[in-house]
Amino acid sequence: MSTTALLTELTATSVSVSAGNELNTYGTRVSSGGRVSLQAGGAANYYAVYDQTNNRDDSTKTRSFFGIQYSKSRSSSSSIENTPLVTRLQSQAELVSNSGGDTLLQGTQVSAGGGYAFNAGVGEKARADARIILEGVKTTVQQSRTSKSDAVVWQTLTNSGSNTETLALPSFAGGGTFSAPGGISVQIPEGNFKNQIQTLSQQPGMGYLNDLAARKDVNWQAVKLANDQWNYSQSGLTPAGAALIGLAVAMATGGTGASLIGTTGTVSTAAANAAFTSLAAQASITLINNKGDVGKTLKELGNSHTVKNMIIAAGVAGVTTYTADWGRTVLTDTGNTLVTDWAKRSQAYALNTAAKGILSGSNSSSDWWTVAALGLSGEAYQYQAGRGADVRPGVDRADPVVDKLDNEGGLYRMTRVMVNGVLREGKNIGHNEQCMSIVSICHGTPISNALNILPGFNAFATLHDGWGEWMAQGKTWNTATNIGSMPPALIVNYGALLDQYRYINARRK
């Protein structure tokens, strides 16, 4: 919003103003064809006022593909200009200003055809230390431009601008005198004194500076003026990009922490693995944000946040592992679980939610809703699939075609593959049928294998296939229900994965 000062104008054949105490003007215009007399028993202050002009322009652009937004950019340009409006004293004849106290001229413009006289410390209330103060006024111009772009996993922020100040001194046309028992105080821009006087005195109305430079009662004050410019850019991973890196690191480092320190207990193993995964994820994200600068990355990893994050990750993993079997029965044949005690399972969910929120420093309702919603996604996934979402790719099956899913308590679940004595998710992306074309999306085909590499995508297929079998048994499985059930399956799946891995890079607030 811009502001404009309202000024007073006084025009007459002759002007005479007398004040028993102070005489103050604020950007006033005094104009006379005759004599101008300004008398103040106390101080005489010829002030300047300021106009402010503000301009701002904001714009937002988005890019999408088939209705899916993949890029958003926002830019903002602004300028602020503060312009002084000084008091103007104009007379075709003589102009006299007398004050008992100080006389202050803030950038005042004086023009007197018959000459001017500014006298301080005169009259009945004269002060022996009264001064004449010639003060400059600043014009300030601030300009800035900020832009931010987000492209799914990468974001860039740029900011440029300038801040410039110029100083305008009082000007006097017509010739005249200055008299004050306390001397004269004059502001000039910072710099070499002789050069400043030589340059300024050549400007219209500024010749008086040469006269003042020869006097012994003048106090020269240097004024520092701003002349700043900046232009910087910062880029790095978006929260979504950091989450994907965290999932990828978790996929690559599962089980490493426990093997490094030799833990064997269930809870301690989970805590060790989570702590190591947290460190690896932070290292990867920091290295990417620092564009490969190893030295800067190591320096940032050495701060207290890294240790706090590892403690958060280990603490959350320890609590959730401790409550993993509350209200659940483990089926010995498949290793899957069934919820058999909902009251006990609800207690586990409540305890897990409290631990995640407290350890990560959740301090707002939105923080707690996020923690609770992601935890609920994890519970929903394991209820249907019988095990937690696995961020890793599925492994090859001896036979890519899965003819029949396991029916466990009315829930249909994909069978797993035994690899070196450990159950792993098989490749589950695509149809459970024989594929007749290389471009078909069926288990183990090229397209399926390509999608299988994406972190967590095979876990989505694991969940969705279970839903699909349930609908097929109910005679409701068709193209519409197949496609229509994919979005909720994606939401539950990646919510469950975030519930597992968001705390490896959590920063306590």
**Nearest residue to 159 via CA among 225, 226, 229:** 229
**Secondary structure element (H or E) that encloses residue 298, with its range:** helix 294-301
- The confidence score (pLDDT) of residue 259 equals 43
Q: 58 with 78: CB under 8 angstroms?
A: no
What secondary structure does DSSP assign to 247-288, as a single string? Answer: HHHHHHHTTHHHHHHT--SHHHHHHHHHHHHHHHHHHHHHHH
Both 381 and 263 in one domain: the answer is no
Report the C-alpha dihedral over residues 364, 368, 374, 379, rounded to 10 degrees.
Answer: 180
The separation between the first and the last C-alpha atoms of the chain, rounded to the nearest angstrom, is: 36
The pLDDT tens digits for 115-171 are 999 999 999 999 999 999 999 999 999 999 999 887 666 778 899 999 999 999 999
The CA-atom distances, in angstroms, between 255 and each of 249, 266, 425, 462 are 12, 12, 16, 22
Residue 66 lies in a domain: no
The pLDDT tens digits for 185-234 are 999 999 999 899 999 999 999 999 999 999 999 999 999 999 999 998 87
Measured CA angle at 465 (ends 403, 469), to 5 deg = 60
Q: Is it the case that residue 403 has pLDDT exceeding 80?
A: no
Q: Can you give the residue range of the structural domain that contains 317?
A: 239-322
Determine the 3-state secondary structure of 17 from DSSP.
strand
Both 249 and 271 in one domain: the answer is yes
* 200 burial level (CB within 10 Å; 0-12, 13-18, 19+): middle
Residue 14, token pair as written in the block: 């002759």
Beta carbons within 10 angstroms of residue 396's beta carbon: 13
Both 196 and 270 in one domain: the answer is no
Pairing mode, strands 132-135 and 103-106: parallel
Residue 212, token pair as written in the block: 């003042």
How far apart, in whole angstroms, are the C-alpha atoms of residue 57 and residue 181?
A: 53
Both 197 and 246 in one domain: the answer is no
Both 313 and 377 in one domain: the answer is no
Q: Is it the case that residue 261 has pLDDT exceeding 70?
A: no
Both 290 and 410 in one domain: the answer is no
**DSSP tag of 392:** S
Both 468 and 332 in one domain: the answer is yes
Q: 404 with 412: CB under 8 angstroms?
A: no
Q: SS3 for 414-427, per residue? A: CCEEEECCEEEEEC
How far apart, in whole angstroms, are the C-alpha atoms of residue 417 and residue 395?
A: 8
**What order of strands is seen across the sheet that includes strand 176-179?**
15-19, 36-40, 95-99, 116-120, 176-179
Report the C-alpha dihedral over residues 101, 106, 107, 113, rounded to 10 degrees.
Answer: -30
- The confidence score (pLDDT) of residue 449 equals 86
Determine the 3-state secondary structure of 4 from DSSP.
coil
Residue 65 lies in a domain: no
Q: Is it the case that residue 321 has pLDDT exceeding 70?
A: yes
Determine the 3-state secondary structure of 8 from DSSP.
coil
Residue 278 lies in a domain: yes
- The confidence score (pLDDT) of residue 289 equals 66
The pLDDT tens digits for 441-494 are 777 778 888 888 888 999 999 999 899 889 988 899 898 998 999 999 999 999
Domains held by the chain: number: 3
Q: Which residues pair with 38 in a beta bridge?
A: 17, 97
Cβ neighbors of 192 (< 8 A, separation 6 or more) are none
How far apart, in whole angstroms, are the C-alpha atoms of residue 435 and residue 406?
A: 22
Write down which residue in 226, 250, 272 finishes a domain. 226
Determine the 3-state secondary structure of 194 from DSSP.
helix
Cβ neighbors of 111 (< 8 A, separation 6 or more) are 88, 89, 90, 91, 172, 173, 174, 205
How far apart, in whole angstroms, are the C-alpha atoms of residue 57 and residue 72?
A: 17
Q: Is it the case that residue 59 has pLDDT exceeding 50?
A: yes
Q: 135 with 220: CB under 8 angstroms?
A: no
Using a cut of 0.75, tell me whether the model's pTM lies above it.
no
- The confidence score (pLDDT) of residue 264 equals 40
Residue 234 lies in a domain: no
**Nearest residue to 377 via CA among 458, 493, 467:** 493
Residue 55, token pair as written in the block: 């301009």
Residue 157 lies in a domain: no
Q: Is it the case that residue 380 has pLDDT exceeding 80?
A: yes
The CA-atom distances, in angstroms, between 29 and each of 51, 90, 167 are 16, 8, 21
**DSSP tag of 243:** H
Q: Is it the case that residue 363 has pLDDT exceeding 70?
A: yes
Chain centroid to CA 189: how far? Answer: 37
pLDDT band for position 262 (cuts 50, 70, 90): very low
Q: 17 with 46: CB under 8 angstroms?
A: no
**Nearest residue to 133 via CA among 213, 204, 221:** 221
* b/e burial code for range 474-496 (CB count within 10 A of at least 16 → b): eeebeeeeeeebeeebeebbbbb
Both 187 and 285 in one domain: the answer is no
Q: 347 with 326: CB under 8 angstroms?
A: yes
Residue 210, token pair as written in the block: 């040469």
Write down which residue in 289, 322, 355 finishes a domain. 322
Both 91 and 216 in one domain: the answer is yes
Residue 171 lies in a domain: yes
pLDDT band for position 508 (cuts 50, 70, 90): very low
- pLDDT, averaged across the chain: 83
Both 301 and 381 in one domain: the answer is no
Q: At what angle do helices 266-289 and 304-322 cross, to 10 degrees?
A: 140
Q: Is it the case that residue 25 has pLDDT exceeding 90?
A: yes
Residue 451 lies in a domain: yes
Residue 493, token pair as written in the block: 């799946």
Residue 354 lies in a domain: no
pLDDT band for position 7 (cuts 50, 70, 90): confident
Both 410 and 475 in one domain: the answer is yes
Both 216 and 290 in one domain: the answer is no
